[in-house]
Amino acid sequence: MSVYSLLKRETSGRNFIPEIDGLRFLAIITVVLFHFRTAFTREIDGIIFNDLSDNTLFHLMWWIDRFDLGVKLFFVISGFILCVPFYNFYALGKGKVELKSYFIRRLTRLEPPFIISLLLFYAVHVMVLNVDAGELFPNLLASLFYMHCIVFGMPSLINPVTWSLETEVQFYILIPFLAYFIWKNTNKWISYLLIIILIVGSAFFRNFTLSEDPFGWSYTVLVYLSNFMVGALLASLYCQTPSFFKRRSYIWDFVALGSIVVLFTYYKPQADVVNNLIFNFALFFIFLSAFKSILFNKFLTIPWVYIIGGMCYTIYLIHFPFFFLWSKISVRFLVGDDYLLNLIIHGAVGTTAMLIVSSLFFILFEKPFMNKHWPAKVKSFFNKAEIGQGQREL
């Protein structure tokens, strides 16, 4: 079996859309680079001085400081993926969505890798970092039930990046009911209006939480609903006018380039409502460009680009704790006192190592659970084992 086959993700029988995994690649690679820089810079603080300017878009650090915007692109992608079947069902009358199957699939697909990684990093905190197991256990419990941000008002101490997974889970629960509210009516323009109202309302709520910092609310789905609803808007367009997404032009490559500049320019300050709305506007056109451009589309549909994008869940779960530990080791092997040189060298080596570890984790602990029939196969295995044991006893 080839490496490509090992790392290619399962799609549960749905049509594979390489552009989506290509966008996932963009989202995860920006977040990975942002978090490596965060972890590495914290470790070398006091050893090497960070002399790089971040004042304007002509400075490298200005861009890297905004790489965490990849999380919002993830939210758009999730909004799109989850809303497509609901739009088809409610608006077009195609393919009934069984809520029981919907929720079971979310659990069987996402829970196993999440629980395994969380228990692994809990063990690392206790056995390697010498954190008291009893003191950390309430954080583990809250994290396992996607409640850490609500209970403690801050991201998980075990794996901080899982705050966004908690937000995603809230959206998974909300969207079946929200989709009914938006698309059950027969007037598509009312549906579009409802989506726009939710986008604007969420932008104002994000302004409130960033300004007032109410306990436990800053990481909820209401704050990021604008991003998810951009995905919902794109899902309705994709299902309603599929031919539009198939017509490509070099003009859309310029749209993609311009949207990227706008995306970064209006990302901060995030509390600004106008910035938030323009930022979401740029996310909308980045997504469209992924399908309608020529060069940008070719990049996103390169096999190894969408393969890495398809592993984004594993990379997301693994990368931050890995970089936290990696930086503690790599700081002993600095090359001179040039900050940028060390950032590039250690970043290249560390990211490569992280991808290797993530690939192994993906093969062992994520890909097997992509097959939606795995619970039935496990049940069948144990039933056969019991029958075999019974026959031996007779």
pTM, 2 dp: 0.94
Count CB-CB contacts under 10 A for residue 347. 17
Please give the pLDDT value at position 37.
Answer: 95
Domain ranges of the chain: 3-393
Q: In Å, how far are 34, 81, 327, 347 from 37, measured between CA atoms?
A: 5, 30, 10, 8
Query: Please, are residues 283 and 27 in contact by the beta-carbon 8 Å criterion?
Result: no
Please give the pLDDT value at position 231.
Answer: 98
- Please give the mean pLDDT across all residues of the chain: 93
Given a cut of 70, is residue 392 above it in pLDDT? no
For 186-207, what is each residue's pLDDT tens digit? Answer: 788 999 999 999 999 999 999 9
Mean pLDDT of 317-326: 96
4 versus 211: which is more confidently predicted?
A: 211
For 333-385, what is each residue's pLDDT tens digit? Answer: 999 999 999 999 999 999 999 999 999 999 999 999 998 888 888 877 677 66
Q: In Å, how far are 123, 126, 313, 327 from 119, measured between CA atoms?
A: 6, 11, 16, 21
Count CB-CB contacts under 10 A for residue 294. 12
Mean pLDDT of 172-182: 95
CA distance 298 to 158: 38
* Torsional sign, CA 242, 248, 251, 257: positive
Count CB-CB contacts under 10 A for residue 331. 17
Mean pLDDT of 271-286: 97
Q: What is the 3-state secondary structure (H, E, C) of the chain?
A: CCHHHHHCCCCCCCCCCHHHHHHHHHHHHHHHHHHHHHHHHHHHCCCCCCCCCCCCCCCHHHHHCCHHHHHHHHHHHHHHHHHHHHHHHHCCCCCCCCHHHHHHHHHHHHHHHHHHHHHHHHHHHHHCCCCCHHHHHHHHHHHHCCCHHHHHCCCCCCCHHHHHHHHHHHHHHHHHHHHHHHHCCCCHHHHHHHHHHHHHHHHHHHHHHHHHCCCCCCCCHHHHHHHHHHHHHHHHHHHHCHHHHHCCCCHHHHHHHHHHHHHHHCCCCCCCHHHHHHHHHHHHHHHHHHHHCCHHHHHHCCHHHHHHHHCHHHHHHHHHHHHHHHHHHHHHHCCCCCHHHHHHHHHHHHHHHHHHHHHHHHHHHHHHHHCCCHHHHHHHHHHHHHHHHHHHHC
Residues contacting 83, CB < 8 A, separation 6+: 175, 179, 231, 232, 235, 236
Given a cut of 80, is residue 134 above it in pLDDT? yes
Please give the pLDDT value at position 374.
Answer: 87
* Torsional sign, CA 309, 206, 192, 279: negative
